[in-house]
Chain A
């Protein structure tokens, strides 16, 4: 597609439930990134996929968070047993190379009640 597509745009879930967030990057972009944006916290790196290399998971806050990227394209971020502190906007971005900068999606706003 023309841009990075994220779904759903909004998600309200009950504490303790699992959620899946989807990211469809720009076709041909080899790198895909997930960030979390919380009020007053700026953008927090979560995970980064580059081609067929092992992902950089160094930013995942706990083992309740996981992500996969299938076929080098679509990515799913899964949060298990959601907690209220997981409420945030989850942003996905893709790029061809670092010098080009990222193209961001519009994000998924997750609210855990």
Chain B
């Protein structure tokens, strides 16, 4: 079975500082990986995805993530945090098949941005 681990439940950064949210996966084969963001009282929005093409993936709102097979990681980064980035972030994994399959989500990390 596949799984993702998001260490810690809360990250706090200053506005303008680097954002780093960690995600490690467990899978017998390199999976498809996703990052989603959830703002208060809203559904989840796709930030970016890795589907076995380029290992460095750029997403919306200036976020990017790098797939590292040797480290089984897919950490999310943003060079400079903005107040509007405060939200909950979820990493998710699914088998790399052509068909639809369910996503398995991590427990999420809450990002706070200090002025």
Known: A42-B107, A43-B90, A98-B94. A31 touches B100 (CB 8 A): yes
- Chain B contributes a number of interface residues (CB within 8 A of A) equal to 26
Q: Which residues of B from 17 to 35 have beta carbons under 8 Å from A? A: 32, 34
State whether A104 touches B43 (Cβ < 8 A): yes
State whether A101 touches B49 (Cβ < 8 A): yes
Q: A12 to B41, alpha carbons, bound, how many Å? A: 16
The 9 closest A-B pairs by CB, nearest first: A104-B43, A31-B100, A42-B107, A43-B105, A99-B51, A104-B44, A101-B46, A106-B43, A48-B102
B105's contact among A42, A56, A97, by CB below 8 Å, is which?
A: A42
- What would 16 more interface pairs be, CB under 8 Å, given A48-B101, A99-B51, A102-B44? A33-B103, A35-B105, A42-B106, A43-B44, A43-B108, A45-B104, A48-B102, A50-B100, A56-B102, A97-B99, A97-B100, A98-B32, A99-B32, A99-B98, A101-B46, A106-B42
Subset of 30 A-B contacts with CB under 8 Å: A4-B43, A30-B100, A31-B100, A41-B107, A42-B105, A42-B108, A43-B44, A43-B90, A43-B105, A43-B108, A45-B104, A48-B100, A50-B100, A59-B102, A93-B44, A98-B32, A98-B94, A98-B95, A98-B97, A98-B98, A98-B99, A98-B100, A98-B101, A99-B49, A99-B51, A102-B46, A102-B103, A104-B36, A105-B43, A107-B43
Sorting the interface of chain A by its residue count into under 10, 10 to 19, 20 to 34 or 35 or more gives 20 to 34
| Chain A residue with the shortest CB-CB distance to B4 | A42
Q: Residues of A with Cβ closer than 8 Å to B?
A: 4, 30-31, 33, 35, 40-43, 45, 48, 50, 56, 59, 91, 93, 95, 97-99, 101-107
| Chain A residue with the shortest CB-CB distance to B47 | A101
| Chain B residue with the shortest CB-CB distance to A44 | B105
Q: Which residues of A contact B49 (CB under 8 A)?
A: 99, 101
Tell me, rounded to whole Å, the shortest Cβ–Cβ distance linking A95 to chain B: 6
Q: A102 to B80, alpha carbons, bound, how many Å? A: 27
